[in-house]
């Protein structure tokens, strides 16, 4: 496009929209002037499944108000989301009621449609959308969907990076170590670690008579064929923004003060349990970070407690997003750095003693009671303490026929059972444990080479492992779930 044509185009776009498009969170996937005669702005909700502290929704509302148009939020429930199953969809569905309620408070209509009647393009035509705003997801398949949609649409389409504190695209390549990212991110926090203004849509959308929409209180998976129902829902967590807010308040009030001391004790209820809610976008990392920051300002917790938690929430979590964004093969051994791939190749022929099958590990049938306990927590509660996740993945490397197979199996189990699986954090965790990503070479040993090693003896001595094993040493799923409800 010539400079003259570009200037002419910009003259037709409201100045406020040009300014919004320059926000570091915004990616203009298809530019242009809002559709003439458009009746609303549509927010295509995918990853950021909430109406509170949602920069993508905020952007849609600001654009709608600038154009004098209402905002409609659209959620499309598909039956073939990669590696998703009934456990994931029940948790997701529990959040839809909260979204509808919270959207209404911002004068935004929330519309859910499900497969097979869930075409986004058809919906945009029905509501006569002027613009489409979406959220970001760095994982491979969702990013592909966004690119495909940008090529097919005839109206402007922007996406907004809504699930990180600091916009991801401010870092233009993979950051190899957390201390490197931290050094570059810390100067940016004063700009981004601040409360966002809450705006309401000025105009309400008039729903046409007979307009098709799914009732969010019903079973969103009903009638879906070829849908994985083998992994059952859990009652250790309930999905939704309101449940997340309640858990956050409990954490900040009762557990944050001792977080630095108890965070690596799986037998103690000392963590925030926020990861499932972050994965589904039911709560914003900014909401959590500001609650922690406020607790420090009010003298409820020390600077040490605040720093310890925010290191995990911001630096490690956003390093994982950065990894998935810039390393295409993030879920396979090809993601390992050169030194790690070399050492794993050199030790690929080492004898595994013992060697287990995926099915044996999935059932928790190993000689290692600590590992079996962690596996039971995953299978029955849909969650595992982060300290145990590191040990869990490293033992998979030790017991699998090859490093590549170990990585593959760890990802299969991660995606299948964890509520917070299928997520940058999970993929980065497997990559750290098995492939040395975001780590350095250690002492050389069999099977691992120079990948960091964790033994059952040393790991078990760092916390009350016997107590943890006893907590998980049950056959009944409901009993495992009591671990989370024992207070």
In a domain, 308, yes or no: no
Which of 163, 192, 218 lies at the terminal end of a domain, its last residue? 163
Q: Is residue 100 part of a domain?
A: yes
Q: What is the mean pLDDT of residues 177-203?
A: 97
Per-residue tokens: 100:
């509808």
168-184 mean pLDDT: 97
Q: Does residue 462 fall inside a structural domain?
A: yes
| pLDDT 10s digits, 11-68 | 588 999 999 999 999 999 999 999 999 999 999 999 999 999 999 999 999 999 999 9
Per-residue confidence (pLDDT) for residue 461, from 0 to 100: 92
Q: Does residue 127 contact residue 37 with C-beta atoms inside 8 Å?
A: no
Residue 201, in any domain of the structure: no
pLDDT of residue 481: 52
What's the rounded mean pLDDT across residues 396-407? Answer: 98
* CATH number for 447: 1.10.579.10
pLDDT grade for 322, boundaries at 50, 70 and 90: very high
Alpha carbons 191 and 25: distance in angstroms, whole number: 13
Mean pLDDT of all residues in 276-283: 98
Answer whether 285's CB lies under 8 Å from 390's CB.
no
- Contact assessment for residue 317 and residue 163, using Cβ atoms and an 8 Å cutoff: no
Let me know if residue 186 belongs to a domain.
Answer: no
The yes-or-no verdict on residue 8 having pLDDT over 70 is: no
CA separation for the pair 50, 59 (Å, rounded): 14
Q: Is the pLDDT of residue 486 over 50?
A: no
pLDDT of 171 reads 97
The residue segments making up the domain with residue 390 are: 328-484
**What pLDDT, in 10s, does the model give residues 206-235?**
999 999 999 999 999 999 999 999 999 999
Q: What is the average per-residue pLDDT within 179-196?
A: 97
Binned at pLDDT 50, 70 and 90, residue 154 comes out as very high
Q: pLDDT band at residue 9, thresholds of 50, 70 and 90?
A: very low
132, 163, 194: which is the final residue of a domain? 163
Buried b (16+ CB within 10 A) or exposed e, 238-269: bbbbbbbbebbeebbeebbbebbebbbbbbbb
- Can you give the pLDDT at residue 470? 92
C-alpha angle 436-439-445 in degrees, rounded to nearest 5: 55
Nearest residue to 416 via CA among 447, 379, 444, 386: 379
pLDDT of the residue at 324: 98
Nearest to residue 65, comparing CAs of 76, 57, 75? 57
The answer to whether 19 and 106 have CB atoms below 8 angstroms apart is: no
Residue 234 dihedral angles phi and psi, to the nearest 5°: -115, 155
> Does some domain include residue 304?
no
Q: Which residue has the tokens 């950065």?
A: 322
275 is a domain residue? no
Q: What is the pLDDT of residue 476?
A: 52
Domain count, the chain: 2
Model pTM?
0.95
Q: Is the pLDDT of residue 190 over 90?
A: yes
Chain mean pLDDT for the chain:
94
How is residue 326 written in tokens?
């810039």
Q: Which pLDDT score is estimated for 12?
A: 84
Closest to 181 in 3D by CA, of 387, 321, 279, 329: 321
Query: 133 pairs with which residues across the strands?
Result: 43, 158
Q: Is residue 49 a contact partner of residue 117, using CB atoms and an 8 Å limit?
A: no
Q: What is the mean pLDDT of residues 405-423?
A: 98
Q: Is the pLDDT of residue 475 over 70?
A: no
Contact status, residue 54 vs residue 283, Cβ threshold 8 Å:
no
Cis omega (within 30 of 0) for bond into 304: no
Residue 72 lies in a domain: yes
pLDDT of residue 473: 80
Task: Give the CATH number for residue 80.
Answer: 3.40.50.620
pLDDT at 280 > cutoff 50: yes
26-30 sheet: strands from edge to edge:
26-30, 157-160, 129-135, 40-45, 71-77, 109-114
d(CA 51, CA 57): 7
The domain boundary, picked from 131, 163, 195, lies at 163
Nearest in space to 436 (alpha carbons), one of 453, 451, 425, 455: 451
């Amino acid at each position: 496009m010539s400079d003259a044509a570009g200037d002419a185009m910009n003259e037709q776009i409201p100045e406020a929209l040009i300014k919004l498009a320059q926000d570091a969170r915004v990616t203009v996937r298809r530019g242009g002037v809002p559709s003439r005669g458009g009746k609303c702005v549509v927010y295509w909700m995918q990853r950021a499944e909430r109406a509170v502290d949602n920069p993508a929704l905020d952007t849609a509302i600001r654009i709608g108000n600038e154009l004098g148009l209402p905002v409609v939020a659209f959620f499309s429930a598909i039956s073939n989301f990669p590696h998703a199953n009934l456990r994931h969809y029940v948790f997701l569905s529990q959040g839809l009621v909260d979204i509808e309620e919270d959207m209404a408070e911002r004068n935004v209509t929330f519309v859910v449609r499900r497969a097979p009647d869930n075409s986004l393009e058809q919906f945009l035509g029905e509501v006569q959308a002027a613009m489409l705003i979406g959220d970001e997801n760095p994982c491979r398949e969702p990013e592909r969907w966004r690119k495909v949609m940008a090529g097919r649409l005839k109206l402007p389409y922007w996406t907004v990076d809504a699930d990180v504190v600091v916009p991801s695209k401010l870092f233009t390549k993979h950051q190899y170590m957390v201390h490197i990212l931290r050094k570059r991110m810390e100067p940016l926090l004063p700009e981004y670690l601040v409360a966002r203004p809450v705006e309401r849509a000025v105009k309400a959308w008039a729903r046409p008579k007979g307009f098709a929409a799914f009732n969010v209180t019903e079973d969103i998976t009903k009638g879906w064929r070829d849908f994985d129902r083998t992994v059952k829902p859990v009652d250790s967590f309930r999905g939704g923004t309101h449940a997340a807010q309640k858990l956050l308040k409990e954490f900040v009030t009762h557990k944050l003060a001792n977080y630095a001391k108890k965070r690596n004790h799986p037998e103690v209820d000392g963590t925030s349990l926020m990861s499932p809610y972050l994965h589904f976008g039911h709560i914003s990392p900014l909401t959590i970070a500001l609650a922690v920051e406020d607790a420090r300002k009010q003298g409820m917790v020390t600077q040490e407690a605040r720093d310890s938690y925010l290191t995990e929430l911001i630096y490690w979590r956003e390093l994982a997003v950065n990894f998935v964004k810039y390393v295409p093969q993030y879920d396979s051994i090809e993601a390992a750095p050169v030194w790690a791939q070399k050492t794993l190749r050199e030790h690929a022929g080492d004898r595994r003693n013992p060697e287990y099958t995926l099915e044996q590990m999935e059932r928790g049938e190993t000689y290692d009671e600590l590992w079996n306990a962690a596996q039971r927590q995953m299978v029955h509660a849909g969650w595992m303490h982060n300290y145990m996740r590191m040990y869990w993945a490293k033992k998979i490397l030790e017991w699998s026929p090859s490093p590549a197979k170990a990585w593959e199996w760890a990802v299969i189990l991660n995606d299948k059972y964890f509520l917070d699986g299928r997520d940058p954090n999970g993929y980065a965790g497997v990559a750290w444990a098995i492939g040395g990503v975001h780590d350095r070479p250690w002492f050389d040993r069999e099977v691992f080479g120079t990948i960091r090693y964790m033994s059952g003896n040393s790991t078990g001595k760092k916390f009350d492992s016997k107590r943890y094993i006893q907590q998980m040493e049950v056959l009944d799923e409901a009993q495992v779930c009591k671990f989370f409800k024992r207070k």
